[in-house]
Amino acid sequence: MIEHSLKTGISFGLTSAIITTLGLMVGLNSSTNSRLVVLGGILTIAIADAFSDALGIHISEESENVHTPKEIWLSTVFTFLAKFLFALTFVLPVLVFEIATAVIVSIAWGLLTLSILSYKIAKSQKEKPINVISEHLLIAVIVIILTNYVGMAINQYFNNQLN
């Protein structure tokens, strides 16, 4: 019972924290190049998205109609904690490094963590780790690339509007 809830919460929470926070950081950095804006974004997403994802898991688990209320609430709490706490780990590089370096360090940290999580998932499902890791990293890299270009486009648009 607790094992399912813990697995659900941690795997979903970590994955969401990595993808969402990196996408936000990269997009905000490429549009503003502001440490304050990126830091504010991380803190905002740590709170708002952690609650949102926890509620999403809560409703998803309820809709399956196979989990006890205790399992549902444990999944909800574990999702919130995993998302909130892991998203906060991206604050440290922003505080320690110049913003461009902080984003690179954060990308490395996020992709490393996603690789480890993917490896553990693959092993538990007796699948080839390289396939699972590659699939998950590809999705993360696509998000990073897209949000970078969106941020650059926003920067370009508003700089043209001001000139």
pLDDT digits (tens, 9 = 90+) for 113-125: 999 999 999 999 9
Backbone φ/ψ region at 126: left (φ over 0), alpha (ψ -120 to 50), beta = left
| CA 115 from centre of chain | 13
Among the listed residues 135, 46, 41, the one whose alpha carbon sits nearest the alpha carbon of residue 82: 46
Measure the CA–CA gap between 49 and 58, rounded to whole angstroms: 14
pLDDT in tens, 53-71: 999 999 998 999 888 899 8
Amino acid at residue number 62 = E
Low-confidence ranges of the chain (pLDDT < 70): 1, 162-163
pLDDT attached to residue 31: 95
pLDDT attached to residue 39: 98
Counting Cα atoms < 13 Å in the Cβ hemisphere of 28 gives 22
Rounded (10°) angle between helices 129-162 and 2-32: 30
Say if residues 53 and 16 touch (Cβ distance below 8 Å): yes
Whether pTM > 0.75 for this model: the answer is: yes
pLDDT attached to residue 162: 67
Which two tokens mark 1?
A: 């019972």
